[in-house]
Amino acid sequence: MKTKKKKRKKKMKKKKKKKKKKKKKKKKKNERLEVNVFFIHSLQMTKSSVMVNPETDSSGLMIEENQNMEELTVKNSQYAFLKSDKYK
């Protein structure tokens, strides 16, 4: 009887350890994904600003990035989009 109880305890300990390890791995994967998505988004923003006019200096690039962001906000809201059509 004693050996059966010992075997059960060992099995339970192994199961608990395995579960803890799996949880830690999942957290790391989620953090990596968030960082990668942010990094990719920042790369896309820099590429789009450089593609507009590659001959400008760094101060010009910052202005172009701000203009791109303003255009996106105008397109996202319908009211502002209609307003911009009136000015054209």
The answer to whether 34 and 23 are in contact (CB under 8 A) is: no
Total domains present in the chain: 1
Alpha helices, DSSP H, located in the chain: 2-52, 58-76, 78-87
Dist. CA 24–CA 30, nearest whole Å:
10
Q: Are 52 and 58 in contact (CB under 8 A)?
A: no
Range of the domain at 18: 2-87
The predicted model scores a pTM of 0.17
pLDDT digits (tens, 9 = 90+) for 13-35: 776 665 556 666 655 555 555 54
Q: What is the pLDDT of residues 49-84, one digit of tens each?
A: 444 444 554 444 554 555 555 555 544 555 555 555
CA 18 – CA 21 distance, rounded (Å):
5
